[in-house]
Amino acid sequence: MTFFQRHAYGFGAGLASVLWWFFPKRRRLSVDNILKCGITADADEARRIAKKAWCHLAGHIGEALFVPGVVNKDNWREHLDFSEADPEAVKLLLDRPDLPILITSGHHGVWEAATNVISFARPMMAVARTVNNRLVAKLMKKYHFRGPVTIINKNRGFTPEVIRQWEETCAAMTLLMDQHTSKGLKLEFLGRPAKTFTSVTRMAIRYGHPIVVGSFVRRAPYVYGLVGGKPLSFEKGTDLATATQLLNDRIAEAVREYPEQYLWAHRRWRDDRS
């Protein structure tokens, strides 16, 4: 690896460490979220986790920019750590390219980098916001920030064309569940009420494809580990709220295990007045 590839995470985290002091509202929000979610009851420890998580976000983005130059079709398996992963989840991700699957997580770990690596095993699709800035969009395309992943415009939703492409290519459809919404179900996430998207649950119930729930966390430079339980499947007629709460609980377990890699600075609990 080149010098910049080797130190990309450190550069990003270092810059974020300096900028951290210029965002007092985000600092307070992060610490407040950590304390209210019961990650720790100690304010000093909450501040440490909050800053570490803030720096992790920038470090992850910095490293993700260099993933295409480090990971290739010959070495991609060396960059995945499945020591804590459920064997059935690993089999779905790597050894069942004949089956469409769903992957759901939160703003946790290293999903930008991990989806890039997993794309060597199977087609990947991800729901995301489009980039309005033309220069940023051009840079992302040039440097393959998201790798060979088909990005679905979040504002367009799951059109018949998108569903057809997902099933015909047997892709892994990736969705984040912990984004704020005013239209979702009010469920619990990390012990606090939060409106929750139900898209992934409705797709699983309707089409019968399995869901891998959890997170990829950073173990070392360009080494990402999957954490989470067995894949889930829902039959037609399954209660939507119950199934979606189960997904929330699974993601929360991963966040509690690795709190320093969660984005505590985002306004996830806007409906929580406690």
Q: What percentage of the chain exceeds 70 in pLDDT?
A: 91
Q: What is the pTM of this model?
A: 0.90
Q: Is 219 helix (H, G, I), strand (E, B) or coil?
A: strand
Show the domain range for 215: 74-258
- Cβ proximity of 22 and 76 under 8 Å: no
CA–CA–CA angle 8, 175, 113 (5° rounding): 15
- 30 part of a folded domain: no
6 within a domain of the structure (yes/no): no
Confidence of residue 145 (pLDDT cuts 50, 70, 90): very low
Computed over its alpha carbons, how large is the radius of gyration of the chain?
18
What is the average pLDDT score of the chain?
A: 90
Cβ-in-10-Å burial (0-12, 13-18, 19+) of 79 comes to: buried
- 20 within some domain: no
Q: Where are the beta strands (DSSP E) in 137-234?
A: 149-153, 172-176, 185-189, 192-196, 211-213, 215-220, 223-227
Residue 12 is assigned to a structural domain of this protein:
no
Question: Per the structure, how many domains does the chain have?
Answer: 1
Has residue 69 been placed in a domain?
Answer: no
Tens of pLDDT along 214-229?
Answer: 999 999 999 999 998 8
Q: What is the pLDDT of residues 180-210, one digit of tens each?
A: 787 889 999 999 999 999 999 999 999 999 9
**Residue 96 class from Cβ within 10 Å (0-12 exposed, 13-18 middle, 19+ buried)?**
middle
* CA pair distance 266, 36, nearest whole angstrom: 14
